[in-house]
Structure 1
Amino acid sequence: MNFSEKDILQIEEKGLTTQEVEEQIDIFKRGNIKVNITEAATVGNGISKVESTEKHELIEFYDSEKEKHSILKFVPASGAATRMFKALHNFADEFDPENDNLRGYLDKKEDTDLQRYFNHYDKLPFYEQALKKAKKSHPDYEELSHDHQHKILVKTILESDGLYLSNLPKGLVPFHKYGSHTATAFEEHLFEASKYIAVNGVAKLHFTVAEGDKEKFQGEWKEIQQRVEEKTGVKFEIEYSYQDPKTDTIAVDNDFEPFRTKDGDLFFRPGGHGALIENMNQLEEEVVFVKNIDNVVTEDNVQNVVDFKKMLGGKLFKVQQKVHGYLETLDKGNVPSEKLDEIQEYLREELFIKDSSNHDLFIEYLKEKLHRPIRVCGMVKNEGEPGGGPFLVKDKNGEISLQIIEGAQIDNDNPEQAKTAKESTHFNPVDIVCGLRDHKGESYDLNEFVDEEMSFIADKTKDGKPLKALERPGLWNGGMARWNTIFVEVPVETFNPVKTVSDLLKESHQPR
């Protein structure tokens, strides 16, 4: 492919080479590679169901072990609140109180989220602040019709001369109102983290944020630090990172030629959340909990969430002890055949690594399978919420392992694959605890465990023109494809994402 000198300079400024860009274009030409799902992971077949007694034992084990480890909570937080307020933006653009009435508009839209908003908007954590601003900017507010008031209030929530909430990072939108103060998703993550990751009275958190937003998060922390630290009795170490520009990917047009902007420049897009494996790879901690920025609960519901976090952490510590012990045994040599059989059984029964082939270098094979980062993933029963599903997947070498698979990765044109996909009972709520060091205490290079073939091609638009975008293998999909994986069932009460503003009106987001 012929790149101009201007193109080459732009590519190099991204930290990329022309060869890497050409390899990305080859992926577009190849298309999405479908995975080979052999079975849906279900309770008893890939997903563990932890009963009450074992749950308490794992929580106690976690509490007894955690002070010996360096622990951190990793929160992808680069998302903007724009999509969260999309229905309100549409309403502000479309609704004309002179000619429309609210009931007719809602009936026409058939949008249940919008209907919930108008039924209960006075319960939003920022309602009183918005109403106060609306009345200040419209002195005749009380005399106006309800339809006019609704339009003014929505515009006050959204626009720059009001609260301008849709322009904020999602993590800094007020989520919950407690008497005299409101708490953002950022603050709720701190409060939750203080309950299970604090070691020697210090809780470490890492937020991946969009460039330009770091100062906003730091400003919020300055505002709330005294209140949060006094309430929790914990000191916080908070760090931030951006998605590395070299993880951006070239976009192409429908003819697989590089997409160009109106100025003739190459157009690069962020490589999706899969690019965050590089951010995680820079961490020094041994144990990392991963949770999305919008999945938080109110303070009065947090203990239930904390208990299940500790349960997952206890499970990780148990698995790590076993795996590290096996690796130390293999490193010493002269391992009796009974021990080798035990290790192979553990791989098959506990880690669900199933390989039918014979291995001449059997001990090296066992070492290779054990010497991997470990993730313990909470799985929630599927009740219609979106999210990747847990499956047993066969790779091109014939090895079967537990994987989190997105719908776009499944070959629904294949009747057998489509049938297997429909047998899935659970989804991944991004509730993961990771073990990032090996039995010698050395950090893994996480890039060695990515399946690059699990990248996504998505159809997007730019300047009104269609383009194809490449997303890197998802952080918890292809980005962790070669990790050792444990799936554990957790209750749906631990999953409370806020995808739209109306989700804040659900009971789980209403403080008692």
Structure 2
Amino acid sequence: MFTEKNIQQIQNHGLSEAEIERQLAIFRNGILYANVVEPASVNNGIEVFSEKEQQRLANLFEAEKDNLELLKFVPASGAATRMFKFLHQFLENFKPENDAIDVFLQKEENKNLKIFFDSMSNFAFSTLVKGKLEEKYPDLENFEKGKRYYLFIQEMLEETGLNFNNTPKGLVPFHKYGENYVTAFGEQLYEAAFYAATYDTANLHFTVSEGHEKKFKKRFDEVKHIVEEKTEVRFKISYSFQKKETDTVAVTPENDLFLDEKGDLLFRPSGHGALLENLNDVDADIIFIKNIDNVVSENYVETVAYQKKVLAGKLISLQKKIFRFIEKLNAENPSEELLNEIESFISEALNIKNIPIGKDKLLKVLERPIRICGVVENTGAPGGGPFLIKDKNGNLSYQIVEMSQIDSNNPQQKQLVEKATHFNPVDLICGVRNYKGEKFNLLKFSDPDAGFISKKSYHGKSIKALELPGLWNGAMANWNTVFVEVPLITFNPVKTVNDLLNEVHQPK
């Protein structure tokens, strides 16, 4: 099946022929859609804590945290390109020499552009862009407004300017404090000081694109003194890249190996599910997972941090009970009373529907990584959410499911999805060590069947790509999972540049 050249390529990627054959079989056989039984809802898979209970859990975390190793894990490899989609369209469609800017902005399809230009001074990068433009064009203020706007966007996005188009999203200026700006990377550091620090040290791990590591390190050197002086916390930062051996091979629409013009195989990154390898390589008692762009300005950090403490307290509380049950099961011939108690705990506290019978099977359920997932009320944002799922063996479990995993052509499944009350903001608190303090091998708790196949193009040719089970859905499918409702204030992603105009991104 493979030429000598292809075999060499496969080996250079850290892969085997058997692995490529396995991927080809997935393309040919397809991936089963998730079988949604019902959306999770309050008191039906999602817990809601009273203010008193929140305070108890936050206090528990505060009391325990100095005895724990804490780590904040931040997926940060995304480029900022998609943030600026409508600005790219402006550069393509607006002709400064021919078009009147005021007329152009009145068109319905340009309403986001109008919002952007009307609010330019409120963006953290405005002063930076304007300063660069004035260096290049000393008489800038004499230019027609349309030309000024056009040059502003060019300076922002293109390689001849600040090159935001090829900048990691984490390093785009997000918030403005006086004359200074702070990136999402900087806000992640500041926030970590409020809940992920022990003995005045916060450990953070960022997954970045290999070509961007130097940029992150440079930015840290620039802000290290400021943020450490402000928080009285030292920061230890590590980085990792998506591993080549997690890449998947592309195929033609007919599911044959796709070969480029040189006869080479085409390998593609396999989505954020590949980061399971990176997560498996780090170790701590508690790992906080949060996307790079989900940050707030300083005014709101303590509110967000408090919710993290609540979730971490819930994790600690659950772990204590689970570890105690495991020790009892390992130490004695368990009584019927103990087995019944554990079965009730698994059903009520872990929301597991198909409760196994017998000591060994109960141990197997308890001896898993644990994650507490904050979920927010549905706002119509695109993305996954918490659902009760039935697997191919008929087992029921609560999972985070992406929309790409659901058959939108199935009216019943579509109807269930439309009833969803909550959304996954990627707000995870993870316990990855067992009752002996040993790190779990997280790769053993993934569901390899939970990936998905997508249609892409390469140099104008149609191809199919395979994505691994997503980090917070299929990759964690066999973890013990608890969903907890958290306030909307904790979910503030920046999907488009205009999101930076929202109140939480505008420091007071």
Q: Give TM class, smaller chain.
A: over 0.9
C-alpha displacement at 1:111, in angstroms?
A: 4.5
Distance 1:122 1:413, change over 3 A: same
Partner of 1:506: 502
Long gaps (5+) in structure 1: none
Three-state SS of the structure 2 residue aligned to 1:78 is coil
Residue by residue over 1:251-274, the C-alpha shift from the partner in whole angstroms, topping out at 9 and shown as x without a partner, is 111011112223221100001100
Matched letter for residue 166 of structure 1:
N
CA distance in 2, matches of 1:497, 1:340: 44
Three-state SS of the structure 1 residue aligned to 2:457 is strand
CA distance in 1, matches of 2:93, 2:375: 40
C-alpha displacement at 1:112, in angstroms?
A: 4.2
Residue by residue over 1:368-424, the C-alpha shift from the partner in whole angstroms, topping out at 9 and shown as x without a partner, is 111100000000001111221101111122221110001121223333322222221
CA distance in 1, matches of 2:5, 2:418: 49
Partner of 2:373: 377
* Contact residue 121 and residue 505 of structure 1 kept, 8 A: no
Long gaps (5+) in structure 2: none
Matched letter for residue 62 of structure 1:
F
Which has the higher mean CA deviation after the structures are superposed, 330-339 or 486-495? 330-339
Matched letter for residue 5 of structure 1:
E
Three-state SS of the structure 1 residue aligned to 2:197 is coil
TM-score when normalising by structure 2 = 0.98
Instruction: Give 1:461's match in structure 2, choosing from 457, 461, 466.
Output: 457
CA distance in 1, matches of 2:409, 2:123: 44
Residue by residue over 1:95-148, the C-alpha shift from the partner in whole angstroms, topping out at 9 and shown as x without a partner, is 102221224333446244323212211111010121121122123311111111
Residue by residue over 1:351-381, the C-alpha shift from the partner in whole angstroms, topping out at 9 and shown as x without a partner, is 111116x74xx11110011110000000000
Aligned residues: 508
Which has the higher mean CA deviation after the structures are superposed, 253-262 or 482-491? 253-262
* Contact residue 104 and residue 110 of structure 2 kept, 8 A: no
Query: Where do residues 96-245 of structure 1 align in structure 2 (5 Å cutoff)?
Result: 96-108=95-107, 110-245=109-244
Distance 1:111 1:24, change over 3 A: farther
Partner of 1:390: 386
CA distance in 2, matches of 1:101, 1:454: 51
Partner of 1:276: 275
Distance 1:109 1:264, change over 3 A: farther
Three-state SS of the structure 2 residue aligned to 1:317 is helix
CA distance in 1, matches of 2:262, 2:80: 29
CA distance in 2, matches of 1:180, 1:249: 45
Matched letter for residue 59 of structure 2:
E
Partner of 1:471: 467
RMSD: 1.3
Whether 1:409 and 2:405 are equivalent positions in the alignment is yes
Whether 1:436 and 2:425 are equivalent positions in the alignment is no
Three-state SS of the structure 1 residue aligned to 2:186 is helix
Three-state SS of the structure 2 residue aligned to 1:110 is helix
CA distance in 2, matches of 1:417, 1:510: 39
C-alpha displacement at 1:177, in angstroms?
A: 0.8
CA distance in 1, matches of 2:225, 2:309: 26
Matched letter for residue 172 of structure 1:
L
CA distance in 1, matches of 2:282, 2:155: 41
Matched letter for residue 138 of structure 2:
P
CA distance in 2, matches of 1:330, 1:76: 38
Partner of 2:363: 367
Residue by residue over 1:414-456, the C-alpha shift from the partner in whole angstroms, topping out at 9 and shown as x without a partner, is 3332222222100100000000001111110001000000011
Which has the higher mean CA deviation after the structures are superposed, 27-36 or 108-117? 108-117
Matched letter for residue 270 of structure 1:
P
Whether 1:484 and 2:483 are equivalent positions in the alignment is no
Distance 1:496 1:112, change over 3 A: farther
Which has the higher mean CA deviation after the structures are superposed, 67-76 or 407-416? 407-416
Partner of 1:425: 421
CA distance in 2, matches of 1:30, 1:446: 26
Three-state SS of the structure 1 residue aligned to 2:294 is coil
* Contact residue 353 and residue 399 of structure 1 kept, 8 A: no
